[in-house]
């Protein structure tokens, strides 16, 4: 259905690099009319994403906000037009910390960035979707939600499990109103996230445990997100698609 995204506006949070950037460009290539590229600190990367979005034929703009703080979430919401497609991609481990090192401030930062931002932004864009009787939300969970995460990543894993549960709850609430809510759960992706928080040995070990014989790419995840936004996924509600090369086969 080549025109299914015609006239649509998409917001991709955390789109200055990685999965978010790949998703923004993939949506533009599929015909989304306008792609809003959110970033926090990496404005240069967001501008590069915007350039690629425009080269793919879509309009767009960048929007800066720190989604690890409520004030930043509110600042983003103040800039938003009506949204047809919401990709709640922004998230981070922030830093690895074990139980006895973990501070209350770090707990709040991880939970706000990964959970509260997704919930609050969805809450803000939902009224327009409800009025139209259509809309798509795709949340980003993680394989960490299934296995508890690596060393020092327990609260990040818990946050991503919360995202998975929120996806199910919102799908039940919004499906009767014409809005589809789903999630993707990436395994180990060879990108900036893991270059920051993992060692080469960790990545090599993950690859050795992956039946597909390689780590994921940003594009592997982006293509599934675009599928979830499309009419091909019209009867999918409340699902979390595991994208991990067979590492986890529930």
Query: 161: pLDDT confidence band, cut at 50, 70 and 90?
Result: very high
Is pLDDT of 2 > 90? no
Give this prediction's pTM: 0.94
Of 12-26, 144-158, 183-197, 208-222, the one with minimum mean pLDDT is: 183-197
Tell me, yes or no, if 156 is annotated catalytic: yes
Is pLDDT of 119 > 80? yes
DSSP codes joined into one string, 86-127: EEE------S---GGG--HHHHHHHHIIIIIHHHHHHHHHHH
Is pLDDT of 195 > 70? no
Please tell me the distance from the alpha carbon of residue 150 to that of residue 90, in angstroms, as a whole number.
20
Please tell me the distance from the alpha carbon of residue 181 to that of residue 172, in angstroms, as a whole number.
9
- If one compares 248 and 123, the residue with the highest pLDDT of the two is 123
Of 36-45, 77-86, 194-203, the one with minimum mean pLDDT is: 194-203
> Can you list the domains of the chain with their CATH numbers?
9-243 (3.40.50.720)
- If one compares 207 and 76, the residue with the highest pLDDT of the two is 76
Catalytic residue among 39, 107, 156, 235: 156
Task: Give tens-digit pLDDT for 64-113.
Answer: 999 999 999 999 999 999 999 999 999 999 999 999 999 999 999 999 99
């Amino acid at each position: 259905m080549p025109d299914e995204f015609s006239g649509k506006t998409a917001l991709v949070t955390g789109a200055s690099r990685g999965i978010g950037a790949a998703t923004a460009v993939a949506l533009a290539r599929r015909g989304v009319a306008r792609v809003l590229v959110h970033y926090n600190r990496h404005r240069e990367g967001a501008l590069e994403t915007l350039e690629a979005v425009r080269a793919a034929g879509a309009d767009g703009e960048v929007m800066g906000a720190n989604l690890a703080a409520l004030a930043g979430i509110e600042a983003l919401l103040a800039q938003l037009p009506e949204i047809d497609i919401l990709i709640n991609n922004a998230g981070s481990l922030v830093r690895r910390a074990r139980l006895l090192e973990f501070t209350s401030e770090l707990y709040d930062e991880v939970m706000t960035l990964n959970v509260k931002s997704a919930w609050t932004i969805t809450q803000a864009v939902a009224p327009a979707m409800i009025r139209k009787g259509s809309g798509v939300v795709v949340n980003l969970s993680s394989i960490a939600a299934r296995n508890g995460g690596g060393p020092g990543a327990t609260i990040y894993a818990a946050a991503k499990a919360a995202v998975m549960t929120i996806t199910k709850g919102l799908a039940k609430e919004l499906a009767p109103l014409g809005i589809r809510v789903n999630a993707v759960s990436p395994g180990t992706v060879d990108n900036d996230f893991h270059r920051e928080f993992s060692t080469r040995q960790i990545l090599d070990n993950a690859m050795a445990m992956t039946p597909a014989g390689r780590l994921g790419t940003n594009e592997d995840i982006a293509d599934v997100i675009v599928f979830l936004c499309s009419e091909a996924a019209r009867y999918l509600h409340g699902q979390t698609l595991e994208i991990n090369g067979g590492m986890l086969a529930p």
